[in-house]
Structure 1
């Protein structure tokens, strides 16, 4: 670009002396095209070599591969040719899926934050997220292969693919934002939409997994979810709260009441209709996760130390409950 610019200036100087020199006009046009092309190449190279771009491309390739594998498994399931996986139990496969989904869920906001304004972290975060999709897909296909109900097979595979699709959309948006605050301003809406889509996909798949696990008498995943929520409480609030204490207080009270109702129903159903305990246990797990999520910003916006201790109280309470096998 610099060499062509120098040639452009030299040619222009010659034309200033002798403007009626046709060959020089042709040379000037050539230098002008070269300068223009060089600027475009420079911009492209700067964008391609920006932090995180290579990692985004690699993560996108991983997710595309995962989606192809899910598609192949879905076609096999439709034709009743998805061979059951014999080297591992259904419980282990469910646990693998729940663990992977939880880790992916934990990385949604970090990836979005890096895409908005932390270019140096973008590559690391997207690589972290991508590494959980391969084990998730393998476990999902294995779990589907061991599921006798055809509709449950398809639901599991479809919801897993939906999560991969939403993650893929998020990675494309994160790559475009690139961790540049000025660039991210143009992609903010798309990024927020991708985050919401991923959260909804995680919630849907988690619900399906917990219901399937509880129906089979497997509660390890739900216990892990509650334990993880407790651990996140111990870590303290992360980021600036978006609402006021009253907002969080209202939601927490509503959720706590819902937990109390669910617990009472579980006590009743344990003797009258044990088959419904799985769904109730799953609801209890989801409600506590929501409660723990609200407790952190509530503690941060509280006006006195006594109220700030709420989060710690919830952590201790549920920690003891878990130890007691409740």
Structure 2
């Protein structure tokens, strides 16, 4: 048996008054939106986009398209490797909460949605780049993603998780620009039309090591499919409103982060390959610095290498070797 690491969580509201804390991941998309002269307008417009999209999807008994509003919490997860009370910030995810203005009820949404991780920054922006430097063909290092995947599963299986969240996480990301997606005949009333691909992307394989399956759906009035990473049964484990909370939140973020794909002026066809070089798209009014985020990911990954990977190398190696995936 492998000794379990201790996890602690903290939450902060993501609203128009949000200010990134000093110890937040500087590469997180939330921090990027909440900096600069346009920060409050950015946040206000982002939240309005999310609410508008939610109400367009939850249209029943909602004649004025204003019945619901989403409240978002950024959940930060810290890990204590040695059991001495000294923690390292590990994961940031997003929790949705649904406010029903008609009944004045607050309904739990889904935890997960966006996903940020220090170790993932290290894996993709440091380890993978160094492994492929001056190599003729691309490859991944031995046991690539294993440590990160086991840390994530350890957190989801922990008492800390079960004491705070009722359902397994769902993470919703952009589809890959390296793969081609094919529309199927399968259609879900909320998630929309399902797409499939012939081979998993590097991100799909990485998330599989986190114990997550993936399916791709393009909701009604969307222009590109989203990738949904989940445990269990995506179509039956969650209510319509829970699924809508994830779609509306993450599609809105993707319109900001990747407008070439998610704010394109025409929808994906039966055979679809996403591209960030696509020119027929519209920009949102929200300022987002994609280049800055990429540069900071390398800096954040190197910080993780020094302060987490190298510092706890022996403990992490032994723990990962003995950790039994459930």
TM range (shorter): under 0.3
Give the TM-score normalised by the residue count of structure 1. 0.23
Give the TM-score normalised by the residue count of structure 2. 0.23
| Higher RCO, 1 vs 2 (CA within 8 Å, ≥6 residues apart) | 2
Greater Rg, structure 1 or structure 2?
1
